[in-house]
């Protein structure tokens, strides 16, 4: 019988810190069928007629965001960790399940009124996507949806993203 995409995700206890169950996507990507299913099932959550731009968050969001943008024939915009983008940027700091970070976007990445779908591999606390959504809004964009391969529902990221439409392929409680 055909495996589901969920069966390709590997769970590693106590990484990178004691108490964290790390949901590893490398085991999805390393299998041609797993990679196809992940991209196709994330893409199926997007209504292409209601989006102008696909954005991806560094780094794991790039893996899924770029092929989806390519397939839908939409532009792809990078949301990068601080210090990587060469032109004028807007930036925002945020908290993660473990640690803190700061992300940036080019000021010319989004034009006012553009509808943006943000792609990431995984929703944990929602800190990353909340920061991404705020940056897009600061640039005048409209966040159409946040799409994930994996959602860690127990960390209540959806509550942090309650003002946005959120969809995921795989859910862990
Ligand atoms: C991980 C993951 C998500 C984020 C989710 O990224 O890829 O982007 O954490 O956590 P949150 O919902 O609590 O914000 P990470 O910053 O570890 O880096 P990476 O994508 O570069 O591996
Ligand atoms: N990013 C934040 N929390 C994570 C987890 N539990 N597994 C994989 N990536 C993560
Ligand atoms: Mg990430």
- Among 3.40.50.2020, 3.40.50.300, 2.160.10.10, 3.40.190.10, name the CATH number for the domain at 48-172: 3.40.50.2020
On the question of pLDDT at 49 being above 90, the answer is yes
In the chain, domain spans: 48-172
pLDDT of residue 96: 84
- Cα(123) to centroid(ligand 2), Å: 8
- Average pLDDT for residues 47-62, to the nearest whole number? 98
- Average pLDDT for residues 75-81, to the nearest whole number? 98
- Average pLDDT for residues 3-20, to the nearest whole number? 96
Mean pLDDT of the chain: 97
Catalytic annotation present for 97: yes
As residues whose CB is below 5 A from the ion ligand 3, the structure lists 60
Ligand 2: which residue has its CA nearest to atom 7? 22
103-129 per-position pLDDT tens digit: 999 999 999 999 999 999 999 999 999
On the question of pLDDT at 99 being above 90, the answer is no
pLDDT of residue 27: 98
pLDDT of residue 156: 96
- Cα(59) to centroid(ligand 3), Å: 5
- pLDDT-above-90 percentage for the chain: 95
Q: pLDDT band for 171, please (50, 70, 90 cuts).
A: very high
- As to burial, measured by CB atoms within 10 angstroms (0-12 exposed, 13-18 middle, 19+ buried), residue 84 is exposed
The encoded tokens of residue 117 equal 């779908």
pLDDT of residue 103: 97
Q: pLDDT band for 26, please (50, 70, 90 cuts).
A: very high
- Average pLDDT for residues 145-152, to the nearest whole number? 98
The encoded tokens of residue 14 equal 């106590």
pLDDT of residue 84: 98
């Amino acid at each position: 019988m055909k495996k589901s995409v969920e069966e390709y995700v590997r769970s590693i206890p106590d990484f990178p810190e004691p108490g964290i169950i790390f949901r590893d996507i490398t085991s999805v990507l390393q299998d041609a069928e797993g990679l196809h299913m992940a991209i196709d099932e994330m893409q199926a959550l997007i209504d292409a007629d209601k989006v102008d731009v696909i954005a991806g968050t560094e780094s794991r969001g790039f893996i899924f965001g770029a092929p989806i943008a390519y397939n839908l024939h939409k532009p792809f915009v990078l949301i990068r960790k601080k210090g990587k983008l060469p032109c004028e940027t807007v930036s925002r700091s945020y908290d993660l399940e473990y640690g803190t970070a700061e992300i940036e976007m080019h000021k010319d990445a989004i034009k006012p009124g553009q509808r943006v779908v943000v792609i990431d591999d995984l929703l944990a606390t929602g800190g990353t996507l909340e920061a991404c959504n705020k940056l897009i809004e600061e640039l005048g964009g409209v966040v159409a949806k946040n799409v994930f391969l994996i959602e860690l529902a127990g960390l209540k990221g959806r509550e942090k993203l309650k003002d946005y439409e959120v969809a995921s392929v795989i859910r862990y409680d």
